[in-house]
Amino acid sequence: MIREHFEFRQTITTILADDPRHVETAKAGMMAARQEIERQISQDPYFATTFEPYAPKNPGKTVGRMVRAAEEASVGPMAAVAGAIAWAGVEAMIADDAMFALIDNGGDIALVSDREVKVGIYAGASPLSGQIAFQIPPRKEILGICTSSATVGPSISLGIADAVTVFSDDVAAADAWATAICNQIRPDDTSILDNLSTTSITGVLAIIGDAVIRWGDLPRIVRARVDERLITAGRSPV
């Protein structure tokens, strides 16, 4: 298996593939998605700054996915940007006949796999951080596994959760909902989960200190020792 770090401006990723060709295909797919988003922002700067759902006219494929996800989760469209870019990269890999394709865009993962994959959970100072992982069975359809944190990383968060991981076949929606849930969930207030059955979300795991909150259909959770050196992070302050 090939593991390659790839970053361009704010897009900081790890690409996993079996064939070097698929790594290059992933990069091309992500860059095409980025270019579409950058064009949208250049034409309409408000798209990049609003924290509320916003629907520009005639969005492209990737921007349209971000807009729909933001509307569903009641957040700004940029809350779905990392998941949407990872999604585009994996789609490009599949179109290039990849049977195994995984892109981790700063904790927002899109994947298809012909084998079992373990996805570790990093939750900052929580005692559970780096101790458990999701055991993902083989699957032919793209799966989104997106994580938001109020205590780890540079993303803006209004919450207190160490990690909120959301599963969905819609990778952009998983990313947007991870942000929305992380903003609101508390150990004594899980009301944001009450209406998720009407959305595209299939499962949620939230970690707040030593508290664990589960919702929906989650993959098996197993003990693991997560190597922090494998966490996708930037090599430069760009």
User: Does the residue 238 lie in any domain?
Assistant: no
Lowest-confidence segment of 35-39, 121-125, 190-194, 227-231 by average pLDDT? 227-231
User: Does the residue 219 lie in any domain?
Assistant: yes
The predicted model gives 123-135 an average pLDDT of 84
171-188 pLDDT, tens digit each: 999 999 999 999 999 999
User: Does the residue 10 lie in any domain?
Assistant: yes
Boundaries of domain holding 63? 2-226
Indicate which CATH number applies to the domain containing 25.
3.10.520.10
What's the total number of domains in the chain? 1
Which residue(s) pair with 12 in the sheet?
7
55-107 pLDDT, tens digit each: 999 999 999 999 999 999 999 999 999 999 999 999 999 999 999 999 999 99
The predicted model gives 108-114 an average pLDDT of 97
d(CA 183, CA 165): 13
User: Does the residue 231 lie in any domain?
Assistant: no
DSSP 149: -
Task: Provide the edge-to-edge strand list for the sheet that holds 211-216.
Answer: 2-8, 11-17, 101-105, 108-113, 139-148, 163-168, 201-208, 211-216
Report the SS3 class of residue 201.
Answer: strand
Closest by alpha carbon to 208, among 181, 172, 174? Answer: 181
